[in-house]
Every structure is written in C-alpha cells, then in structure tokens.
Amino acid sequence: MSIPLIDLKAQYASIGAEIERAVGEVLSSGAYVLGKNVTALEEEISQYLGTRHAVGVASGTDALILALRALDIGPGDEVIVPSYTFFATASSVRLVGATPVVVDVDSRTYGIDVGQVEQKITARTRAVIPVHLFGHPADMEPLGRLAESHGLAL
C-alpha cells in the first residue's frame, strides 16, 4: 500500500467549489495582476497579522527576494540557509547578490540544524532563512534567540 506524503485531492475536495468560484471570478474580471482580489487578500492578511501592510507576490521566490531587499541584504552579505529545501531558498539569496551559506538539517525533522547555524555565523552574516518541511516547523525558538543574540534577521 502506498501512503502519499500529502493528499492534495482530499484537501481540494473540502474547498474545491470555493476555489473554482474564486478563480472563475478572477478569470471573468480579467484582472490577473493586482485587482480587487489581491487588495482584499492583502487587507485580510494585514488584519490577521496585526500589521499596517501586507504585500501579495507571485511566488515564494518573489517573497524571499522582497524580504531580503527590505533588509538591504546584498553583495558582501551572507545568509544561512538549510541544505534540504527548494532551490529558491538559496537562489533568492544569490539573486540579491548575497552569498548563501548552507547548513545541514536535523535528521529527525529535516529542519535547519540550530547548532550548525551558530558555527557558520561570521561578521558578514546578516540573516538566517529557516524552512518548514513536511509538517515539521523549523525549531524557531532557539533560532530566534540565536538570531537576536547575533543581531541577525530571521
């Protein structure tokens, strides 16, 4: 018996009609970029997070690049990333001109190994990008303490 890593059909079945209705509205409006749906989503996310603004982007890669640029990370800077992740994690760092520093992952959770993060911090390190995989969140509390103690963005 094959047990799927994730059952997207079951997830879709529970909200399929809502998704199809929303996509149909966007297609019929012709507003594929920006538009009222993006504005509404940004406002909902902003309210949910308690922030003044939220920005919708086209992809996770764009989100990472936007975050790195907002932090003014670029040439000469290093960003610590996990070894086991989608390639966009490291390529986003390169796309802003910084250097990705790869750290191995914890073999139990596949999350970035916090102990190895500390060993890789240098004077050029500006940030750490943790990645949550397979329902296992990165170990954010110790990463947060480590980042704060070294003045790094997380």
- pLDDT-above-90 percentage for the chain: 73
Q: Give the pLDDT confidence score for residue 135 in this predicted structure.
A: 79
User: What's the farthest any 2 CA atoms get from each other in the chain?
Assistant: 53
Residue 82 pLDDT > 80? yes
For the chain, where are the alpha helices, taking DSSP H only? Answer: 8-29, 35-49, 60-70, 88-95, 114-120, 140-150
Residue 5 pLDDT > 80? no
How far apart are the two ends of the chain, measured CA to CA in Å? 40
Residue 3 pLDDT > 80? no
pLDDT in tens, 90-128: 999 999 999 999 999 988 888 899 999 999 999 999 999
Cut 0.85: pTM above it: no
